[in-house]
Amino acid sequence: MQWFFAFITSILEGLWNAIKGIFNAIFQFFNFPVLFDQLSRYKNDFNVFGWILCILTVLITYAIIAGVIFLIVIAIRKYVRFRKTLVGNEDMLEEIADLHRNVIKLTEEKERILNYKFDPSGVTYEELKEFFKEENEGGGTAVLGAPGQGGDKKDAPVDVSSKRFYRLSAVDEKYTFYVPPVYERSLSLHELCDDIRNFACSRSGLYYEIKIIRLLIAGLASTKMILLQGISGTGKTSLPYMLGKYFQNDATIASVQPSWRDRTELFGFFNEFTKKFNETEVLKRIYEASYNDDINIIILDEMNIARVEYYFAEMLSILEMPNPEEWKIELVPSSWPSDPEHLRDGKLQIPQNVWYIGTANNDDSTFSISDKVYDRALVINLDSKGVPFEAPMTNAKCISYSYVESLYKKAIEENPVNDELIQKIGMLDLYVIEKFRVAFGNRIIKQLKLFVPVFVACGGTDLEGIDYILATKVFRKFEGLNMSLIRDEIRGLILYIDKLFGKGEMKECIDYLQRLQKMMY
């Protein structure tokens, strides 16, 4: 014990001396009375240079002391932060491990539940509660019996052969005894446009310029997708909705939501738990179109409130395929015997008699539409409200898709774009490539050759049709160029267009290019 007390005393004295030495050192650093006393003993011998050296010595010394103290504090803080990071990482890893274990448990639970064959749509709440109670109590592989049977639930598995496409199967039943209506087959394209405009005015109180109707009908000949854009309140949604009323086949409206990311928002998805396909109205309308010869219109309202190239990407690709027989979309990977009649190997054939008309507002709440969408669709700008006019009372018409297609084919045969205009378009293409590095593209030329003849048959002129296509599909691309670099070239382009097609003939193109010029200044 004597040795122990002597040993501990020595250790504590050393520790105390160390602590006392640190405090003595700090005290000595800042013992200003002693420091001032030292200065008073030697200051009489200082000259000006001596005072300068004295002040510098004091400043440098205390700067070094402050720097050492600062580095010590930084080192301590970094060490504390490092320890906290280590502890935080360890806690995070532990939490991730717990989450991973929970995911494994939930996955196993899901697989175990899916192994039980029952139809949730026919199970009461009490039966479902009793089922899970038996599971939690370890009562074996309980399988719910069919509703109303009252037998032993463990001995009566439910039949799961019920149809997984409820709405599409209902369409099959609807058309079992379908008799096609008597279609109107007397109108020309010119008369059709006038009739639609008068119907919109007399029946719906909607006023559209005749050119808008001609652009719509001619656009449907060149592409399956029309894009109506412009300011709010100009009747963008009302136009296709009215068109469905006119053809006596109401349009299906799909209100696009900001959360739309993929095709499931349009067509639905297969629910692995219920073994049912969650069908949308758009899918039902496309499927129903395969049974009739009506003109079917699907409206994508506010389509650019989400990314069009995300949720509509697959349809954009399908509609570009040259062979309509290849217009197929896979809904499920395999087929069931109870699947709808027009669903082959889980794939749906997209019928020809469906047109997709999207509306788009150009404001801060929407996304910009990509060139991929603009190139494939025909854009109609509705930038002003219609001017009221008097129109005769006009009734809706039951017109078949086949008849409209025959009018399109007849117009293309009778009003082809002449070689002289094609040559001028080629010369303009070379000029635009040289000066602006923008090309027309084969898709645009193909659409132009389909659009212009139908536009002429609707009552327009070939130059008006060419003018509109070039303005909305070629010169629109100038917005993505560096305005400062093309500013001087636009004036020359306007003069070249007037030289090729005649002064003032290409009004849409020149007005658009002049608006670009004003934006630059």
Q: What is the pLDDT of residues 203-255, one digit of tens each?
A: 989 999 999 999 999 999 999 999 999 888 888 999 999 999 999 999 999 99
Asked if 454 and 192 touch (Cβ cutoff 8 Å), the reply is: no
Strand residues in 95-236 grouped as ranges (E): 225-230
C-alpha torsion sign, points 228, 234, 239, 240: positive
Q: What is the pLDDT of residues 174-211, one digit of tens each?
A: 999 999 999 999 999 999 999 999 999 999 899 999 99
């002449």: which residue's tokens? Answer: 418
Helix H or strand E encompassing 331:
none
Question: Which of the residue ranges 143-152, 268-277, 337-346 would you say has the lowest mean pLDDT?
Answer: 143-152
* pLDDT confidence band for 156 (50 / 70 / 90): very low
Q: What is the pLDDT of residues 386-396, one digit of tens each?
A: 889 999 999 99
Q: What is the pLDDT, as a whole number, of residue 150?
A: 39
Question: Which of the residue ranges 113-127, 221-235, 386-400, 415-429 would you say has the lowest mean pLDDT?
Answer: 113-127
DSSP letters of 18-54? HHHHHHHHHHHHT-HHHHHHHHHHHGGG--HHHHHHH
Q: How far apart are CA 496 and CA 493, in angstroms?
A: 5
Q: What is the pLDDT, as a whole number, of residue 140?
A: 42
pTM score > 0.75 for this model?
no
* pLDDT confidence band for 114 (50 / 70 / 90): low
What's the DSSP call for residue 312? T
Strands 328-330 and 347-349: antiparallel
**Residues contacting residue 381 through CB under 8 Å, at least 6 positions apart:** 229, 230, 472
